[in-house]
Chains A and B, each alone.
Chain A
Amino acid sequence: MIMASSVKILVVDDEPDTVLLAKRLLEMEGFHVITAYDGEEALHQVYAEHPRIMLLDIKLPKKDGYEVCKEIKSKQSVKDTIIIMFTAKIFDTDREKGLEMGTDYYITKPFSGKDLISLINTILKK
């Protein structure tokens, strides 16, 4: 059984409301949450903090979610970060592109808080 408090999750989105909501929700479940609001800050957090899971929006300033994902998956030191990409886009091409870049899971906005927690718990049990 994994203790939630030992799991560090990075939430990346340029919408402050989404970041704060996700942070509040995940912290209520006991996770340790760190945040970033653009692609460059996200990469900085990944290298500095080594989160286990990353919730990553596609549309981000400075570097988009695909670029961030591609870089993480190409670096030995952080490639095991589990990436859940969340996006408002629902087109298959976005999903395919994300998978090509190494995204592990997808969730489409808006999504239920319960579904997000359930997905994270399923991932952690694997």
Chain B
Amino acid sequence: MSSPTIPEEILEAFQKQFGFALLIKGTAGTGKTTLALEILSRAKNPIYISTRVSPEFLYEQFPWVADFLNPSNIYDATQTYFPTITQTQTQRFKVFKYSDVPNFIEIIFEHFQGVEEPTIVIDSWNAVIGYRLPQDVQEEKFSNLITELVRKTNIKLVLVAENPEISFLDYLVDGVIITHDLRVENRRARVMELLKMRSIPIKQPYYTYTLDSGRFKLFPLYKFQFPSILLKPEPLPDPHKDFISTGILDLDTVFGGGLRKGSVYLFEVAHGVGDGYLNFIIPLFTNQLNSGRGVILILPEGYSAKSFNLVQENFVDREQFLKQFISFERLNESQKPEEKSYIQPLNNRIDITFQQIWEKAKNLKNNNFGPIVYFLGLDKLENTYEEMEIIRALSDHMAHIKGSEGDITVILAREGQNLIDKISHMADNHWKVRLLNKALVIYGVQPESEFWLVANDTSRGYVSLNLTPVV
């Protein structure tokens, strides 16, 4: 499912029959104009009044605007002292000259009262107010006038303001949005704040967004999701001879070419993510099996091989699954005969468990199912064995895979587990998955990376993801 570009709350407000005045404010570079243009892109009659930048610059900076905004609907209200560069350009755009602010409002009223359902962006309102406001007239009066105009004429108005402080205008308009550029864990996090939306319930007051590729794209509540129709994926080829594909094209790119052979990856999942991290794990082991290679798992608490019935029934061949998949589990119930081939009991001693794991890996490799990917759920190890024993066993395992000609270990840990710091020092890579205003992000702790926003891709019939950088 592709991510929406603007919040549901704004869509609802702009679909109403009555006028609506929305104020978008934030510091420079937070995407106010981009958001305003995204809103315009959905309007029946979009009109853009530019008081800051020339219309030429608008097309140059946002080429996608040409798809919905004709030059005849762009008004150059820059009030520049210099003439426009060429005659051709002046003919393309309407020049919006006004003598002062009351005159500006008057012209808007006259120009657009006959237009059906106009949505007008004034970018920026500060520039209008700052331009020749009569000395005897207060700013509040004209802010009041413009919002009254909205109500009387049922137009949709978007005012872009450069000052994020609360002003008189905040009380007059119907909606107020603030765009923030923050630092979270030393990484850029763009957050949109829905401060007020008159008569529209605010379901989510904060949204994480990105300005990737010059578009405003927000990421709402993340929920793990299978596609409605399940199809077997074609295996994704390894990007390089020294790497194994993660089964997700975007993740291969973020990881610098997939998972490096002979490496250990610590995958830490923060509180609240729930099943969200399965979207990374399922494609990896599916791709590994479909590529004719082996997978050995000690799954995290709460999961067993049976938890992945949908995966084994739909995304891989049953025959491949039985030959190449081995899960070590605490066995509390009797096994079906066929399960004995791929579900092995966890031994009470961790050293014996790992010897059995390596033995199984050797057998898989003898049958040409190498290199192997191991998934180890740290919570299950912590709940089964002593901490010092785990560290020793994992050290031995890491030494084992370094000499294994390309095996990879993925350790799955939950934030707050006792052994994370120690394992982070032992692992070659440490990636973390967390929520940012309910959106799912992944980022590198080692090597360090910016946030990447995660969206389900259910368009292919199997579990996959799209990753977008927060820029």
Q: Find the residue from A17, A22, A88, A113 having the highest chain B CB count within 10 A.
A: A17
Q: Which residues of B contact A17 (CB under 8 A)?
A: 1, 227-228, 458-459
B residues 415-468 near A (Cβ < 8 Å) are 458-461
Q: Taking the complex as formed, is A123 at the interface, i.e. its CB lies under 8 A from any CB of chain B?
A: no
Q: How far is the CB of A109 from chain B (nearest CB, A)?
A: 5
Q: Taking the complex as formed, is A15 at the interface, i.e. its CB lies under 8 A from any CB of chain B?
A: yes
Q: How many angstroms from the CA of A21 to the CA of B460 in the assembled complex?
A: 7
Q: How many angstroms from the CA of A61 to the CA of B383 in the assembled complex?
A: 48
Decide yes or no: A110 and B229 within 8 Å by CB, A17-B459, A21-B459 being known contacts.
yes
Q: Which residues of B contact A18 (CB under 8 A)?
A: 227-229, 458
Q: Which residues of B contact A47 (CB under 8 A)?
A: none
Q: Taking the complex as formed, is A124 at the interface, i.e. its CB lies under 8 A from any CB of chain B?
A: no
Decide yes or no: A112 and B314 within 8 Å by CB, A17-B458, A20-B459, A21-B461 being known contacts.
yes
Q: How far is the CB of A6 from chain B (nearest CB, A)?
A: 23
Q: Taking the complex as formed, is B43 at the interface, i.e. its CB lies under 8 A from any CB of chain A?
A: no
| B interface footprint on A76-93 (CB within 8 Å = 1, 0 otherwise) | 000000000010100000
A110 touches B459 (CB 8 A): no
Q: Taking the complex as formed, is B313 at the interface, i.e. its CB lies under 8 A from any CB of chain A?
A: yes
| A interface footprint on B279-295 (CB within 8 Å = 1, 0 otherwise) | 00000000000000000
Q: Taking the complex as formed, is B310 at the interface, i.e. its CB lies under 8 A from any CB of chain A?
A: yes
B1 touches A111 (CB 8 A): no
Count of chain B residues with a beta carbon within 8 Å of a chain A beta carbon: 14
Q: Which residues of B contact A111 (CB under 8 A)?
A: 228-230
Decide yes or no: A21 and B229 within 8 Å by CB, A110-B310, A112-B313 being known contacts.
yes
Q: Taking the complex as formed, is B105 at the interface, i.e. its CB lies under 8 A from any CB of chain A?
A: no
Q: Which residues of B contact A112 (CB under 8 A)?
A: 229-230, 313-314
Decide yes or no: A110 and B227 within 8 Å by CB, A15-B1, A21-B459 being known contacts.
yes
Q: Taking the complex as formed, is A13 at the interface, i.e. its CB lies under 8 A from any CB of chain B?
A: yes
Q: Taking the complex as formed, is A116 at the interface, i.e. its CB lies under 8 A from any CB of chain B?
A: yes
Q: Taking the complex as formed, is A25 at the interface, i.e. its CB lies under 8 A from any CB of chain B?
A: yes
B residues 308-366 near A (Cβ < 8 Å) are 310, 313-314
B228 touches A113 (CB 8 A): no
Q: How many angstroms from the CA of A109 to the CA of B228 in the assembled complex?
A: 5
Q: How many angstroms from the CA of A110 to the CA of B226 in the assembled complex?
A: 7
Q: How far is the CB of A75 from chain B (nearest CB, A)?
A: 28
Q: Which residues of B contact A110 (CB under 8 A)?
A: 226-230, 310
Given A18-B229, A21-B227, 8 more A-B residue pairs with CB atoms under 8 Å apart are A15-B228, A17-B1, A17-B227, A17-B459, A20-B459, A88-B228, A110-B228, A112-B230
Chain B interface (Cβ < 8 Å from any Cβ of A): 1, 226-231, 310, 313-314, 458-461
Chain A interface (Cβ < 8 Å from any Cβ of B): 13, 15, 17-18, 20-22, 25, 86, 88, 109-113, 116
Task: Identify 19 residue pairs between A and B in the complex whose beta-carbon atoms are under 8 Å apart, listed by A's number.
Answer: A15-B1, A17-B1, A18-B227, A18-B229, A20-B459, A21-B231, A21-B458, A22-B229, A25-B231, A25-B461, A110-B227, A110-B230, A111-B228, A111-B229, A111-B230, A112-B229, A113-B230, A113-B231, A116-B229
